[in-house]
């Protein structure tokens, strides 16, 4: 078993994305980082840029998740950090009564069940760590009380995406309860409105390097840090 910290980040396929910058910052700290994406070639190209490793993974496919767990067991014998970053289905302008149910099903399969699959498969490896961290990348859109994007506000115009993130927040809470007393901490993090696409900076989005700071913080919490919380900018965010 290696003594280096082993970090796994899902959904890393774009240089402007949260996952790529998170990987870059964790690698700069000296961690051994593995990034994954459905498009394995895209992940490999990004990995070469920052000196990390890449693996092909579709989080909606049980067999691929199990294959990944087996590979990590053989290669490293443990896992220290799991960052569930894979997510999509941002249905801007959609309405619940007009939502296509196939779209809804696929959104939940990726944004909620994908993270759930990963955690179930990798907890045995996380238990081998001296201080494992699970970070579920969430959104204020999945909060009731977020003053700008919350479910209770008219500005929330992404109903399907929001509900998947609300469910992910709920999963974070119940997992933290089950893992209480172990060395595994699990938290949800909202990075905020981040400039992950061209032109969004002009709308007020913060730089990606700033947006991932909360994710990196949650991935590197000390053993007396929180578990079962929802955070933005390293501060608790209302559910």
Q: State the pLDDT at residue 156.
A: 61
Domain presence at residue 164? yes
pLDDT tens digits in sequence order for the chain, 239 residues long: 667 899 999 999 999 999 999 999 999 999 999 999 999 999 999 999 999 999 999 999 999 999 999 999 999 999 999 999 999 998 888 889 999 999 999 999 999 999 999 999 999 999 999 999 999 999 999 999 888 788 887 656 889 999 999 999 999 999 999 999 999 999 999 999 887 888 777 777 888 999 999 999 999 999 999 999 999 999 999 98
Give me the catalytic one of 20, 89, 161, 197: 161
pTM over 0.75: yes
Q: State the pLDDT at residue 101.
A: 97
Domain presence at residue 81? yes
100 contacts 164 by C-beta, under 8 angstroms? no
Residue 161 among the catalytic residues: yes
Strand order in the sheet with 230-232: 53-56, 32-37, 6-9, 81-84, 132-137, 184-189, 230-232, 235-236
| Count of domains for the chain | 1
What residues form DSSP beta bridges with 84?
136
For residue 150, the domain's CATH number is 3.40.50.720
Domain presence at residue 1? no
Pairing of strands 81-84, 235-236: unpaired
109: domain range? 6-236
């Amino acid at each position: 078993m290696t003594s280096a910290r082993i970090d796994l980040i899902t959904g890393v396929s774009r240089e402007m994305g949260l996952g790529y910058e998170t990987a870059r910052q964790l690698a700069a700290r000296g961690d051994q980082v593995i990034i994954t994406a459905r498009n394995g070639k895209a992940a490999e190209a990004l990995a070469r840029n920052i000196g990390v490793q890449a693996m092909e993974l579709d989080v909606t496919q049980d067999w691929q998740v199990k294959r990944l767990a087996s590979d990590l067991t053989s290669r490293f014998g443990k896992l220290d950090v799991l960052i569930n970053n894979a997510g999509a289905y941002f249905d801007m302008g959609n309405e619940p009564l007009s939502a296509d149910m196939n779209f809804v099903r696929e959104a939940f399969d990726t944004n909620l069940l994908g993270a759930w699959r990963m955690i179930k498969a990798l907890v045995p490896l996380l238990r081998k760590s001296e201080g494992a961290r699970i970070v579920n990348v969430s959104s204020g859109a999945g909060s009731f009380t977020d003053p700008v994007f919350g479910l209770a506000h008219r500005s929330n115009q992404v109903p399907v995406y929001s509900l998947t993130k609300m469910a992910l927040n709920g999963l974070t809470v119940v997992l933290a309860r089950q893992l209480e007393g172990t060395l595994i901490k699990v938290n949800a993090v909202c990075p905020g409105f981040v400039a992950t696409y061209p032109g969004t900076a002009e709308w007020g989005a913060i730089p990606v390097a700033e947006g991932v700071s909360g994710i990196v913080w949650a991935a590197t919490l000390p053993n007396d840090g929180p578990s079962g919380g929802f955070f933005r900018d390293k501060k608790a965010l209302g559910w």
